[in-house]
Structure 1
């Protein structure tokens, strides 16, 4: 039996079958292919191509398709593009782009090196999610920033870097407020604040009082001083939930006398100046 001849024939037959199937698929694709609306391509080109998903769709191409074909999809959903891109998309699609306020990533933790105490030395994978699997992370505070830079690596616009104190730093000029960093953080220490925010709490701890103070020197201890001294307390401008102060930005936006800032014993609640936490420079 000539095994070489059989092998050659098998290859020839498989090649012919492949060519036939390829030809059939090519014909089918040509026959059933749907022509793409050229406007979709124009809208896609106008988008920043960050593929961040902040618009609620799986990437820029999907949003471009939706905003062109669906009359109910507004033209201002591209968070990184802000008003400029919204105006272009609105013009291309013939829709009206309502004004939206830009948002920026804010780190709700000041427990950097020498501020938050360490429970043990972690020598595993340099990854926040991996570190959290080991006793909820190496810091005694189990709510703060783990410091391994998942958010930095996730940012599609290079708007974040790791600071010398082991905490991420946000470049407000580069930050688009897409929220990808916030979605990546396993401890949820990143929030998106409107540029008009006047005060914010830079802490995520839900520990209370003495326990909290043992873990970190810069956290919120849930004492409620800010809440009791809020000039808009009847509207709940600040309230304490699970031993953590929470600022209602919709209410706080109207505040003209931020008395809450003067009463915080740890400085966890502070003034925001053009998107920057004023007390950040004094910690870490």
Structure 2
């Protein structure tokens, strides 16, 4: 019994001694932290997404404080972060940034619209499904709907929409681009966050092929160009695309589209 007490006392004394040494070392080697770095880091989005060009939010905060880097590089934080950081640093109010762009799913060919070439029962991952003849849908350009993008979104801005497809909430999206990088079909394409209309198709097939594969795909008929000549619609490679730098009326094109693939985003929300 005495040996146990001695051993316990020895361990306790050793622990106390080592703890004291660590405390002394912490004081001796303590490096003061600039409170501004902490304040700037707290103003950032905290996602460590790397879109600012740094490996972490802390590294970017240090660059702002100690290297004078710009205060508006945090894409997820946006104008709110830039405003707060400018106040912390005592800088003038930053000028409004460029137009904000977010990814959106350019496909509405869900379970009741798109024809399938086989039933997929494998791993619920779009990249895995695409390895099998391009995926279960006949259209190899469309959304596979298995949610790989949903799982990589850091802010839960992407969700399933009930038709075997996914949809991006552009108000919640921070524009990190992770969903774009993981999508095997390229159906995640960038549009302005304030866009009112989009062409919800990604197929480069000719019209007759599209009609066989999907009831809501773009057939390249060019009716959108004629209905909204100032709307920025241009059909190229059998697919209509919108030049969002053009500020014209696009509603007529949406109303005229024979397959309904030109969507009013205002109606979606």
With the shorter chain as reference, the TM-score category is 0.7 to 0.9
Q: Distance in 2 between matches of 1:66 and 1:60?
A: 10
Say which is worse superposed, 60-69 or 85-94, in terms of deviation.
Answer: 60-69
Evaluate the alpha carbon distance shift between residue 60 and residue 191 of structure 1 in structure 2; reply closer, same or farther with a 3 A threshold: farther
Residue equivalent to 2:252: 259
| Selected match of 2:87 from 82, 86, 91 | 91
Say which is worse superposed, 171-180 or 119-128, in terms of deviation.
Answer: 171-180
| Selected match of 1:140 from 130, 133, 138 | 138
Task: Give ranges in structure 1 of 5+ residues lacking alignment.
Answer: 1-26, 279-284
Question: Per-residue deviation at 1:189?
Answer: 1.5
Is 2:245 the counterpart of 1:250?
A: yes
- Residue aligned with 1:250, SS: coil
Question: Per-residue deviation at 1:95?
Answer: 5.8
Evaluate the alpha carbon distance shift between residue 265 and residue 97 of structure 1 in structure 2; reply closer, same or farther with a 3 A threshold: same
Residue equivalent to 1:174: 172
Contact 2:171 2:193 in 1 (8 A): no
Evaluate the alpha carbon distance shift between residue 257 and residue 166 of structure 1 in structure 2; reply closer, same or farther with a 3 A threshold: closer
Q: Distance in 2 between matches of 1:230 and 1:67?
A: 46
Is 2:60 the counterpart of 1:63?
A: yes
C-alpha RMSD of matched pairs (Å): 2.7
Residue equivalent to 2:221: 223
Is 2:263 the counterpart of 1:270?
A: yes
Question: Per-residue deviation at 1:102?
Answer: 4.1
Contact 1:231 1:258 in 2 (8 A): no
TM, length-normalised to structure 2:
0.78
Question: Per-residue deviation at 1:127?
Answer: 0.7
Residue equivalent to 1:77: 73
Task: Give ranges in structure 2 of 5+ residues lacking alignment.
Answer: 1-24
Question: Per-residue deviation at 1:218?
Answer: 0.7
Residues 27-176 of structure 1 aligned to structure 2 (within 5 Å): 37-71=34-68, 73-93=69-89, 94=91, 96-100=93-97, 101-176=99-174
Evaluate the alpha carbon distance shift between residue 215 and residue 56 of structure 1 in structure 2; reply closer, same or farther with a 3 A threshold: farther
| 1:12-62 per-position Cα deviation (integer Å, ceiling 9, x unaligned) | xxxxxxxxxxxxxxx9xx99x987654333211211212333334434233
Evaluate the alpha carbon distance shift between residue 255 and residue 145 of structure 1 in structure 2; reply closer, same or farther with a 3 A threshold: same
Q: Distance in 2 between matches of 1:67 and 1:226?
A: 47
Evaluate the alpha carbon distance shift between residue 204 and residue 63 of structure 1 in structure 2; reply closer, same or farther with a 3 A threshold: farther
Residue equivalent to 1:16: none
Contact 2:205 2:238 in 1 (8 A): yes
Give the count of matched residue pairs: 242
Question: Per-residue deviation at 1:129?
Answer: 1.0
TM, length-normalised to structure 1:
0.75
